[in-house]
Amino acid sequence: MLSKGPKRGIETYVLDRKRYGEELSSKIYELVKDKADFIVLAGYLSILKGDLLKEYRDKIINLHPSLLPKFGGVGMYGDNVHRAVLENKEKITGCTVHFVDEGVDTGRIILQRFVSVDDGDSIEDIKNKVQREEHRAIIEAIKNWRCLMRALISVFNKEGIYEFAKFLSDRGVEIISTGGTFKYLKEKE
């Protein structure tokens, strides 16, 4: 995969977690600052922090192999998740795409995809089912994020609308509003 980027003019970096240790987030931030609009984590097992999280708030997504908030947090990755699903006799599992925040698997959920856990399923069976959905989910999440460039906001009840409009605007979404909503938003600025 890393060989495809340079062939398409995309800068590619490999950062050794052991080498950078506690400075890994700072190094990533140094490399992506003013270059990346969005960061996608899939199979990434380090905790991000610092300026990277501040500057890329709601612009970093992670793919997790369970239906969060179930089976998330420290130590919940790979087979550990699927083992927990079996041990808890879950009938449904799946994957979650969520925004990355300061916690571990605690960011706001973007989307989830579900699979059934059938009698006799092994950890490997569950992993295979979930991975098929993970591949679909991450693409769906990226497409959905990239297409939200403009939002029309026109509401009767204005409660919470300024905060919502600001949230979207802070993330680069152009806000279009009409009549009373436009006037209300302008007065709140």
Catalytic residues: 64
Q: How many CB atoms lie within 10 A of CB 179?
A: 8
**C-alpha–C-alpha distance, residues 135 and 93, integer Å:** 15
Can you list the positions of beta strands (E) in 20-123?
39-42, 60-64, 92-99, 109-116
Distance, CA of 150 to CA of 174 (rounded, Å): 4
Beta-strand relationship, 60-64 and 92-99: antiparallel
